[in-house]
């Protein structure tokens, strides 16, 4: 199953709850269906995860579900008290280990009666559940069960109260927008004033300021006929920046010195009566229950960009943040904590933990830093308990005056000053909340110094020394950088990094890796271009080539929010002293992970093969709509100037037309000189009228100089097709890679790919599973669709070297039979290839599926490989990668087309008049 984001899990769990809310049957009747569907909501398959029903008989009976080393589930019928399961779950857990197979006791135990859940971690907390909630509350507590998605992901046990957080933020947003709309003060002052209000509301409910001075002031102001909020609130905020007890009388008696730079500038903003009412409503929430992670995201969406109208657009689910924080911070530290053997060693490890620094160089509102800080405080508590237990075991007194993990060890950089303000407030809020959760730490007042979170362009400044790097760099495609950041920035990026212009996230990956020391770790979210083509070369391949080892990754996942992008999540360690013990790719344990974010050797990179040159091209780019003709125009012009009035084929014609035929016409002078083009006066006249004026305004000199030609006429392609009577055209983007024969009298647009072959053997190889699997491995993707790139997919593809003419002939015959049957079915059922193959996937057209299998087996036979891997994408990519290496390193001779010819009599079909779809 595909890896699911936090938002997708919540959505699936909402459907799960709706189905099971009214269930009142027995435990035995539906428990297995219930658990299968619960796993599925997390994007997992129970059987693939290794979880078994009624497994492992213990003294308490058979477990309802057992995932060895990970999970035990004890189900009860609806209405049963979960406390009745206490003895069973305890004995199940105690007896679930198996020393013979080196299987430890399950880490997690769930007790469930269909309508209530208890989550236990008996190895660490034997006397209290980590979480307890109802079925209806499950979507809001989804991250307490993240181990159902993957054992590699650490669950989160925290009260989200998203609805409360959202409502509170909405009132703050209304207040902010009202002030901004009427220009109550300069925008930066309004932003700072808003953050001062937010922290004060929080501090009042958490007992950091006694007597609720802000709320009292607001209520008093609302009773006045002409309230002067700038005077009264300004005085309060100035007082919060003063040391000593002077002036702290009356409603100000419970105030304290806050510092932390939050009130260093005490902005006096006048509020209207309506705005004071917004503030009063905001103060009525229980700010102790506000989740800083969600709240900070909401505020960033309001304060950081006026055009983000939807609250919550930037909320990053903790399930997704934990895919970085767990492997980069939690798991390595927990392994060290569990391995420590003496109280003295544990005490030294605690000192090291409290020196551990975390940097987010694109910190935004501080979500990643907040979660990292929370988890590090949890690790601190675990390690202190370990110190005490080891001391007790050895008869020693428990050490005193143990250190705390300092808030100042979290570091951040963000280009937006308002984001930095929000991040600091989020962390100050989190600091106070963690005191309630884990006990006393460093003082919460005065506020701890968070100057290590600063406003700057992270690509232009030096990063602070740190021990781990996490974060979510900006999603900005390479094609948008010039538009958003300007020519000067583009030039600077090219000079600074020396890798050309790539998606912006790529540069964060390079800087993060180069900034790490040996044994240090990083985890970043990037657009999925980082694992593809040019982006991969500049980021993950660079990391792999300079000592980085990718330990955990998600190759592609939808990212929530308005960006609507697919991302890759990558965690790595730099030059580790020993090989990492475990690797997880897409929530599945694997042997190792490549820079392409596939299973395999980390150093594996596909090399371009010179023998593949001049065979694959992206189609022509017009760069002017005036070349296109209506059907009536084309009919008239083809009567006299047919040579330059050509059918135009794009990807949709291949996928939707029953005959894969072009549906439009275009004027195409190809590489003709202007003198030669003048021999076609009617078409040249059209181009002069429709195209030339547009080209004269174009920034590219070549487009202006050769105004009668297409912007990118692909001279290499024209030359390679010169001796052929037909060409292979393929879809450039889509869920599938489709090939089709086309006459060379057809112009193929840049929405398709052209292969310069006209023999059945070659199209057979290109239609095979081997080439398809390689294309998906080496091309980029666009929102989950394949985006075929000849430079990486074709130029690196190692063609077979058949040992006999019979093998070649079998591939050619299989491809002819497949293509003929495919064409018959399209016409017979009046449908294009997309509909045809969707039906085939659902079980229709079994003869067509059998012909594909025949072709796939013929192609792997030509490679000399077993038929058993003919449709196994992973096995094919692995073998093709090794074949690519052998060829690139000169271990294997390679002349893939020497024997093929391009128009052998038994292997080629002459082209007919181009078919035009109507």
Give me the chain's average pLDDT, please: 89
Structural contact between residues 737 and 852, judged by C-beta atoms closer than 8 angstroms: no
pLDDT in tens, 231-248: 999 999 999 999 887 778
pLDDT at 897 over 80: yes
Structural contact between residues 552 and 506, judged by C-beta atoms closer than 8 angstroms: no
pLDDT at 21 over 60: yes
Instruction: Give dist(CA 165, CA 28) in Å, integer.
Output: 39
3 state SS of 915:
coil
Strand-by-strand arrangement of the 358-360 sheet? 453-455, 410-414, 358-360, 468-471, 521-527, 566-574, 548-558, 583-585, 588-590
Instruction: Give dist(CA 358, CA 383) in Å, integer.
Output: 18
Q: What is the per-residue pLDDT for 374?
A: 95
231's tokens: 């005077």
pLDDT at 358 over 90: yes
pLDDT at 68 over 70: yes
pLDDT at 378 over 90: yes
Q: What is the per-residue pLDDT for 59?
A: 76
Name the nearest CA neighbour of 166 among 270, 275, 315, 273. 315
pLDDT at 827 over 70: yes
pLDDT in tens, 563-585: 567 889 999 999 999 989 899 99
Verdict on whether the full-model pTM lies above 0.75: no
User: How big is the CA angle at 466 (ends 461 and 467), to the nearest 5 degrees?
Assistant: 145
Instruction: Give dist(CA 579, CA 897) in Å, integer.
Output: 42
Q: What is the per-residue pLDDT for 160?
A: 57
- The full DSSP string for 855-901 is HHHHHHHHHT--GGGTT-HHHHHHHHHHHHHHHHTTSS---TTTTT-
Interval 529-558 mean pLDDT: 87
266's tokens: 């005490």
- At residue 866 the predicted structure's pLDDT band, cuts being 50, 70 and 90, is very high
Instruction: Give dist(CA 618, CA 750) in Å, integer.
Output: 5
714 backbone φψ class: left, alpha, beta (φ>0; ψ -120 to 50): left
Structural contact between residues 260 and 424, judged by C-beta atoms closer than 8 angstroms: yes
| The pairing of beta strand 780-782 with beta strand 726-731 | unpaired
- At residue 614 the predicted structure's pLDDT band, cuts being 50, 70 and 90, is very high
Interval 794-803 mean pLDDT: 91
pLDDT at 702 over 80: yes
Longest dimension (CA), the chain: 103
Instruction: Give dist(CA 75, CA 734) in Å, integer.
Output: 44
pLDDT at 396 over 90: yes
Strand-by-strand arrangement of the 116-120 sheet? 52-58, 61-67, 71-75, 108-112, 116-120, 131-134
**825-844 burial: b if 16+ Cβ within 10 Å, else e:** bbeeeebbbbebbeebeeee
Q: What is the per-residue pLDDT for 914?
A: 63
Structural contact between residues 755 and 616, judged by C-beta atoms closer than 8 angstroms: yes
Q: What is the per-residue pLDDT for 823?
A: 97
Q: Calculate the CA dihedral of residues 113, 114, 120, 126 and round it to 10 degrees.
A: -10
- At residue 562 the predicted structure's pLDDT band, cuts being 50, 70 and 90, is low
pLDDT in tens, 407-463: 999 999 999 898 899 999 999 999 999 999 998 899 999 999 999 999 999 999 999
Interval 748-761 mean pLDDT: 96
Please state the three-class secondary structure of 550-577 as a single string: EEEEEEEEECCCCCCCEEEEEEEEECCC
pLDDT at 771 over 70: yes
Q: What is the per-residue pLDDT for 349?
A: 97
Among 344-358, 464-478, 522-536, 684-698, which stretch is predicted with the lowest mean pLDDT?
A: 522-536
Q: What is the per-residue pLDDT for 709?
A: 97
pLDDT in tens, 707-751: 999 999 999 999 999 999 999 999 999 989 999 999 999 999 999
Among 163-167, 819-823, 826-830, which stretch is predicted with the lowest mean pLDDT?
A: 163-167
Strand partners, 132: 118
Helices (H) and strands (E) in the chain, counts: 32, 26
Neighbours of 307 (CB within 10 A): 5
Q: Quick one: DSSP state of residue 905?
A: T
User: How big is the CA angle at 188 (ends 185 and 194), to the nearest 5 degrees?
Assistant: 80
Higher-confidence position of 180 and 60:
180
Burial of residue 498, with CB atoms counted within 10 A of its CB: 0-12 exposed, 13-18 middle, 19 or more buried: exposed
- At residue 836 the predicted structure's pLDDT band, cuts being 50, 70 and 90, is very high
Angle between helices 367-393 and 292-303 (to 10 degrees): 160
Name the nearest CA neighbour of 15 among 43, 49, 38, 45. 38
pLDDT in tens, 110-132: 999 999 999 999 998 899 999 99
Q: What is the per-residue pLDDT for 171?
A: 85
37's tokens: 């569907």
- At residue 603 the predicted structure's pLDDT band, cuts being 50, 70 and 90, is very low
Q: What is the per-residue pLDDT for 312?
A: 34
pLDDT in tens, 24-58: 988 777 999 999 999 999 999 999 899 999 877 77
Burial of residue 579, with CB atoms counted within 10 A of its CB: 0-12 exposed, 13-18 middle, 19 or more buried: exposed
Q: What is the per-residue pLDDT for 796?
A: 94
Neighbours of 10 (CB within 10 A): 20
- At residue 165 the predicted structure's pLDDT band, cuts being 50, 70 and 90, is confident
152's tokens: 């590699």
Q: In this prediction, what percent of the chain has a pLDDT beyond 90?
A: 67
Instruction: Give dist(CA 486, CA 848) in Å, integer.
Output: 52
Q: What is the per-residue pLDDT for 905?
A: 34
pLDDT at 288 over 90: no
Q: What is the per-residue pLDDT for 563?
A: 52
Instruction: Give dist(CA 743, CA 642) in Å, integer.
Output: 15
Angle between helices 760-767 and 805-829 (to 10 degrees): 70
Cis bond before residue 446 (omega within 30° of 0) = yes
pLDDT at 308 over 50: no
3 state SS of 218:
helix
Q: What is the per-residue pLDDT for 309?
A: 34
Interval 817-829 mean pLDDT: 97
909's tokens: 């079909």
Name the nearest CA neighbour of 281 among 210, 211, 178. 178
Alpha carbon separation from 21 to 13, 74, 653 (Å, rounded): 12, 19, 48
Q: What is the per-residue pLDDT for 400?
A: 86
pLDDT at 293 over 60: yes
Q: Quick one: DSSP state of residue 464?
A: P
């Amino acid at each position: 199953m595909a890896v699911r984001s936090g938002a997708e899990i919540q959505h699936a769990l909402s459907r799960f709850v709706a189905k099971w809310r009214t269930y009142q049957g027995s435990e035995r009747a539906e428990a297995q269906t219930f658990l299968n569907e619960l796993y599925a909501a997390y994007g997992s398959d129970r059987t693939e995860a290794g979880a078994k029903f009624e497994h492992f008989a213990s003294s308490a009976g058979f477990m309802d579900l057992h995932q060895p080393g990970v999970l035990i589930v004890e189900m009860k019928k609806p209405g049963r008290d979960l406390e009745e399961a206490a003895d069973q779950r305890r004995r199940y857990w105690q007896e679930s280990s198996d020393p013979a197979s080196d299987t430890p006791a399950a880490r997690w135990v769930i007790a469930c009666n269909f309508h209530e859940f208890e989550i236990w971690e008996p190895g660490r907390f034997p006397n209290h559940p980590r979480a307890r909630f109802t079925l209806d509350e499950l979507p809001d507590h989804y991250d307490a069960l993240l181990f159902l998605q993957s054992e590699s992901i650490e669950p989160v046990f925290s009260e989200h109260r998203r609805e409360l957080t959202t409502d509170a933020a909405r009132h703050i947003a209304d207040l902010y927008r009202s002030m901004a709309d009427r220009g109550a003060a300069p925008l930066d002052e309004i932003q700072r004033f808003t953050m001062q209000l937010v922290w004060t509301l929080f501090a009042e409910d958490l007992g950091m300021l006694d007597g609720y001075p802000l709320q009292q002031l607001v209520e008093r102001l609302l009773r006045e006929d002409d309230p002067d909020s700038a005077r009264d609130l300004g005085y309060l905020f100035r007082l919060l920046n003063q040391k000593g007890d002077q002036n702290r009388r009356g409603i100000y008696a419970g105030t304290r010195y806050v510092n932390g730079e939050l009130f260093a500038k005490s902005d006096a903003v006048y509020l209207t009566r309506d705005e004071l009412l917004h503030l009063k409503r905001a103060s009525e929430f229980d700010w102790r229950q506000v989740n800083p992670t969600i709240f900070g995201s909401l505020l960033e969406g309001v304060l950081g960009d006026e055009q983000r109208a939807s609250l919550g657009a930037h909320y990053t689910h903790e399930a997704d943040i934990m895919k970085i924080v767990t492997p980069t911070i939690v798991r390595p530290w927990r392994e060290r904590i569990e391995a420590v053997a003496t109280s003295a060693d544990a005490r030294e490890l605690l000192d090291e933990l409290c020196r551990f620094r975390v940097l987010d160089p694109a910190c935004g509102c501080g979500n990643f830093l907040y979660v990292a800080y929370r988890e590090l405080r949890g690790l601190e508590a675990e390690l202190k308990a370990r110190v005490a237990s080891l001391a007790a075991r050895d008869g020693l007194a428990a050490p005193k005056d143990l250190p705390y993990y300092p808030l100042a060890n979290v570091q951040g950089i963000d280009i937006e000053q308002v984001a930095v303000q929000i991040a600091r407030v989020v962390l100050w809020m989190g600091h106070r909340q963690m005191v309630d959760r884990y006990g006393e730490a460093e003082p919460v007042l005065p506020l701890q110094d968070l100057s290590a979170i600063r406003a700057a362009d992270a690509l232009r400044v030096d990063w602070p020394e740190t021990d781990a790097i996490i974060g979510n760099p900006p999603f900005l495609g390479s094609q948008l950088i010039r538009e958003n950041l300007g020519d000067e920035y583009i030039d600077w990026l090219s000079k600074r990094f020396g890798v050309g212009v790539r998606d912006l996230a790529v540069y964060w990956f390079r800087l993060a890796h180069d900034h790490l020391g040996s044994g240090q770790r990083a985890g970043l979210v990037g657009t999925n271009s980082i694992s593809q083509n040019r982006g991969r070369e500049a980021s993950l391949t660079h990391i792999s080539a300079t000592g980085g080892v990718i330990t955990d990754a998600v190759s592609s996942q939808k990212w929530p929010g308005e960006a609507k992008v697919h991302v890759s999540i990558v965690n790595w360690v730099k030059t580790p002293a020993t090989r990492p013990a475990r690797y997880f790719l897409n929530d599945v344990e694997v042997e190792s992970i490549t820079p392409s974010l596939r299973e395999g050797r980390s150093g594996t990179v596909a090399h371009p093969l010179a023998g593949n040159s001049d065979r694959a091209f992206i189609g022509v780019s017009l760069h002017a709509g005036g070349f296109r003709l209506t059907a009536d125009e084309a009919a008239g012009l083809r009567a006299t100037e047919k040579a330059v009035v050509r059918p135009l084929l794009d990807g949709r014609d291949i996928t939707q037309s029953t005959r894969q035929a072009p549906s439009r016409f275009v004027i195409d002078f190809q590489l003709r000189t202007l003198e030669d083009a003048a021999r076609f006066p009617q078409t040249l006249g059209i181009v002069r009228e429709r195209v030339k004026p547009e080209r004269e305004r174009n920034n590219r000199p070549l487009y202006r100089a050769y105004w009668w030609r297409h912007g990118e006429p692909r001279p290499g392609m024209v030359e390679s097709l010169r001796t052929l009577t037909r060409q292979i055209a393929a879809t450039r983007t889509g869920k599938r890679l489709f090939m089709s024969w086309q006459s060379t009298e057809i112009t193929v647009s840049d929405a398709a790919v052209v292969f310069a072959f006209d023999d059945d053997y070659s199209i057979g190889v290109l239609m095979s599973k081997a080439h398809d699997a390689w294309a998906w491995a080496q091309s980029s993707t666009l929102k989950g669709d394949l985006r075929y790139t000849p430079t990486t997919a074709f130029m690196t593809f190692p063609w077979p070297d058949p040992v006999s003419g019979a093998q070649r002939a079998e591939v050619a015959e299989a491809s002819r039979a497949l293509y003929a049957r495919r064409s018959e079915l399209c016409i017979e059922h009046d449908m294009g290839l997309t509909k045809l193959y969707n039906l085939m996937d659902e079980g229709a057209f079994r003869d067509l599926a059998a012909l594909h299998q025949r072709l796939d087996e013929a192609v792997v036979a030509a490679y000399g490989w077993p038929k058993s891997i003919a449709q196994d994408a992973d096995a094919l990519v692995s073998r093709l990668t090794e074949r690519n290496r052998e060829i690139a390193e000169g271990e294997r001779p390679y002349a893939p087309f020497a024997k093929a010819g391009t128009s052998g009599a038994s292997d080629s079909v002459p082209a007919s008049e181009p078919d035009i779809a109507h």
